[in-house]
Structure 1
């Protein structure tokens, strides 16, 4: 196997930046000019919140900024902290603050060790003490400290968000730059955190109308799937730029979904309109709809909103299909009523908000969303991607559809009353749920599951509460297996 073939094979297997080795991360990831500006904002002074849905590339941007600072360690000390921590997720108030501070102390010391600094960072695990200790460390190093908080918010567990944003605000200063990733729809910032004055919010959704859109996805394909761009493989209907652009639009710019699409096409000898049709329909039935089911046990108090989200998705796609469009404007009153189901659909990649407020032909204002083309093709008459439809979708030839407050289209969607608190159901699922599957493409083998069960680890909760040391002591669990277990566990609970 050649180096390029080996790289292509690894690129197919890797779906998330968190699962990449540093070497492979550099080889596989590409950033558009727009994203380069985002990376510069993450490196620069000032607090930043990076907002994007599942698989949109938030972690990749955070990791790239972190790596670039490390390469130029003379200017700043970079600390990358993943908040995928079950005890942290399940706590709130003072308990959250203490556990957060303990994690931060641990990762600051790790960063100092990586920078070959013979300094031990210590502080009482309380925000005020941590703040003073970080300022003291900054003066001692004569360097700014940049704190990257990945996975700061969980879609189904919002109780700790107020505490997180309080900590984020308190730690931020001219010497300490805080950066964090959040998902669309995060609104519980607390009473002391002013999202627009205490941070800069950057939305990383890849807009199909951006001048960088086509070149970005072409570069990604060249890095991960060079054989897909072979002219002998594609039909005369489209060149490699059109193919990359169309696939990027089909998944509304979502990187993880883009990888899934390319993985399907990679197996084919030839790519034409029939093959693309089958690929998009398969994504709708085997990726997007199952994703809602996968999200359900992770939603906590919002678990019962999955059924209304299904119904809402169907009605949005039906309305858009009838208008022969790829985007839709939803009246702001409906946006307010259906805020959480819309947030779930955006998080899962069914829709992506392009304009927060736009005038409607039918009167009033609303938000405009673009739709993924996979679910749109699924309900298009004939369910077939023709040459005309390919061109129309590629060029956005039709005006957005509209759902007005008086249209009554969404009237029958009733939202259930939500409980005040609810544990994440995913924690009680058996560890067999983590076996390699469509939901978990890099899941565990049956052999590993058997090893865990012999050690009385039977549920996802029990696995999450087992320390790395305990896992390493098990038969056949080395560093590689440990990383795989932690990665699939992270996907199960957080993604």
Structure 2
């Protein structure tokens, strides 16, 4: 079953795709989020860590909204810098530093047109001097918000980035960056827990405002298709929102997908039932979560061979948990360490979330505890349906974790070697990969793919290298279509 979309605002999933007014209208921040935003605006280096779609970009953009120049009364200057640039994936050393400096300076001149700055820098020290001059001229400290700084598929240039991050930080300049699980190569000079404060963005299911967050998001994005009339006393809106929020491990992007799928499952019924939710979860598992592994495989560079074992691990975890109706697992530390990279991939795509690094096991020893997304578990439940007892058990957070020890299937699983020399395969994919599909539910139309292909834009790399001006010259491509194309490309390469 293909995704059906009922409201235009549900199409826009990335925080960067909103203009300022839309961003404020469709985003809601909890008290926990606001503490994080406060740290992003304050002194000191910060790393935001979380799975894709969990809201890192939204937090960074909201932080920048409260700083100068977007907030004239802001006590610091906030420069939001997206590092989604293809050349950054391919360069290192002096070439990487020069390109990085150019990106930062371009954003300074764009966001602070009233400030006269040197327009070129070739070293970190030169960039630092420019930033110090900007801070001095405005009598404000600088906060640099680096979005999409690093993830699993971009480890070749990470040591360069973190060297810059560490060197730039001083009393006048505060560096912040968003990273994904799996960023392990910080470089020899960067001590992650001493050189920065690490904030895990994953939302706590037991937080008092967890339910309210997802109710607010549903109200803002699905005012018509999921209005109050769709909910009953047996399953009120807060309960449904909590269950769906817990199901996707608190991931905001996945929650929006789940709302779309719930609308499809209701299909004209008067109110939401557990049967509708079960169907929505199963469809989300088949049409969104499992295709994610297919989608990210060509983005992982040297770790592309780890996707197949990651899928095997996921199938084992969900099957065993589904059979017992549990939603958490404990994996023996020895096994978790050996399977670290495929487990990081599963965390990156939202299949699992690590909750405890070390927990005692009934079978002796200690292990890492993960919670699993409920959509994939639902497929393995008895009759593949959620009943009242399962719902109550999952939402009480009192499940009995399934343990994986030396005698388990995970222990016997063999891993392939990483591909030491491996370009990102996604760049060479034909443009037709961007067609609307399970992997890209909000992809391009057949007409648009044909138009691009007919104008000699054959691969994703060629599309990325085509300027906005060149695309706007093509027939039927206006600003909104251009925005849709860029958003889809960003999902294909970075998200």
TM-score range, shorter chain: over 0.9
CA displacement at 1:424 relative to structure 2: 0.9
CA displacement at 1:73 relative to structure 2: 4.7
Give TM-score scaled by structure 1 length: 0.94
- CA-to-aligned-CA distance 1:259-308 (integer Å, 9 cap, x gap): 01111223433311111111111111111111111111111111111110
Partner secondary structure for residue 357 of structure 2: strand
Measured in 1, the distance between the counterparts of 2:118 and 2:217 equals 40
Partner secondary structure for residue 60 of structure 1: helix
CA displacement at 1:478 relative to structure 2: 2.9
Query: What's 1:213 paired with?
Result: 210
Query: What's 1:163 paired with?
Result: 160
* 2:88–2:96 Cα contact (<8 Å) kept: yes
1:134 aligns with 2:137: no
Q: Which segment is superposed worse, 257-266 or 37-46? A: 257-266
Query: What's 1:409 paired with?
Result: 409
CA displacement at 1:358 relative to structure 2: 2.1
Query: What's 2:453 paired with?
Result: 453
Measured in 2, the distance between the counterparts of 1:48 and 1:397 equals 33
1:15 aligns with 2:13: yes
User: Which residues in structure 2 correspond to 1:332-343 (within 5 Å)?
Assistant: 332-343=333-344
CA displacement at 1:167 relative to structure 2: 0.3
CA displacement at 1:228 relative to structure 2: 6.1
User: Which residues in structure 2 correspond to 1:464-483 (within 5 Å)?
Assistant: 464-483=464-483
CA displacement at 1:110 relative to structure 2: 0.8
* 2:323–2:380 Cα contact (<8 Å) kept: no
1:110 aligns with 2:88: no
1:244 aligns with 2:245: no
1:329 aligns with 2:335: no
Measured in 2, the distance between the counterparts of 1:62 and 1:120 equals 24
User: Which residues in structure 2 correspond to 1:228-307 (within 5 Å)?
Assistant: 230-267=227-264, 268=266, 269=269, 270-307=271-308
Query: What's 1:120 paired with?
Result: 117
Runs of 4+ in 1 over 6 A off after TM superposition: none
Query: What's 2:373 paired with?
Result: 372
Measured in 2, the distance between the counterparts of 1:17 and 1:325 equals 33
CA displacement at 1:240 relative to structure 2: 1.6
1:149 aligns with 2:146: yes
CA displacement at 1:199 relative to structure 2: 0.5
CA displacement at 1:453 relative to structure 2: 2.1
Measured in 2, the distance between the counterparts of 1:231 and 1:98 equals 54
Aligned length: 484
Partner secondary structure for residue 151 of structure 1: strand
* 2:335–2:411 Cα contact (<8 Å) kept: no
Query: What's 1:397 paired with?
Result: 398
Change in Cα spacing, 1:74 to 1:202, as seen in structure 2 (3 Å) is closer
* 2:31–2:209 Cα contact (<8 Å) kept: yes
Measured in 2, the distance between the counterparts of 1:19 and 1:362 equals 49
Query: What's 1:34 paired with?
Result: 32
Measured in 1, the distance between the counterparts of 2:207 and 2:365 equals 27
CA displacement at 1:85 relative to structure 2: 0.4
Change in Cα spacing, 1:165 to 1:203, as seen in structure 2 (3 Å) is same
Measured in 1, the distance between the counterparts of 2:451 and 2:211 equals 46
- CA-to-aligned-CA distance 1:351-381 (integer Å, 9 cap, x gap): 0111222222322222211111111111112
* 1:98–1:125 Cα contact (<8 Å) kept: yes
Give TM-score scaled by structure 2 length: 0.94
Query: What's 1:433 paired with?
Result: 433
What are structure 2's unaligned runs of at least 5 residues? 1-5
Partner secondary structure for residue 135 of structure 2: helix
Measured in 1, the distance between the counterparts of 2:170 and 2:284 equals 45
* 1:305–1:416 Cα contact (<8 Å) kept: yes
Query: What's 1:3 paired with?
Result: none
Q: Which segment is superposed worse, 391-400 or 97-106? A: 391-400
* 1:123–1:133 Cα contact (<8 Å) kept: no
Change in Cα spacing, 1:143 to 1:364, as seen in structure 2 (3 Å) is same
CA displacement at 1:217 relative to structure 2: 1.3
Partner secondary structure for residue 409 of structure 2: coil
Measured in 1, the distance between the counterparts of 2:408 and 2:438 equals 37
* 2:323–2:382 Cα contact (<8 Å) kept: no
CA displacement at 1:422 relative to structure 2: 0.4
Measured in 2, the distance between the counterparts of 1:451 and 1:232 equals 43
Measured in 2, the distance between the counterparts of 1:189 and 1:87 equals 20
Q: Which segment is superposed worse, 271-280 or 429-438? A: 429-438
Query: What's 2:86 paired with?
Result: 86
Q: Which segment is superposed worse, 12-21 or 304-313? A: 12-21
Q: Which segment is superposed worse, 480-489 or 442-451? A: 442-451
CA displacement at 1:9 relative to structure 2: 2.4
Partner secondary structure for residue 185 of structure 1: coil
* 1:206–1:213 Cα contact (<8 Å) kept: yes
Measured in 2, the distance between the counterparts of 1:229 and 1:492 equals 29
Query: What's 1:182 paired with?
Result: 179
1:45 aligns with 2:30: no
CA displacement at 1:440 relative to structure 2: 2.4
* 1:138–1:144 Cα contact (<8 Å) kept: yes
Query: What's 1:348 paired with?
Result: 349
Partner secondary structure for residue 152 of structure 1: strand
**Aligned Cα RMSD in Å?**
1.7
1:101 aligns with 2:101: yes
Measured in 1, the distance between the counterparts of 2:298 and 2:96 equals 23
CA displacement at 1:79 relative to structure 2: 0.9
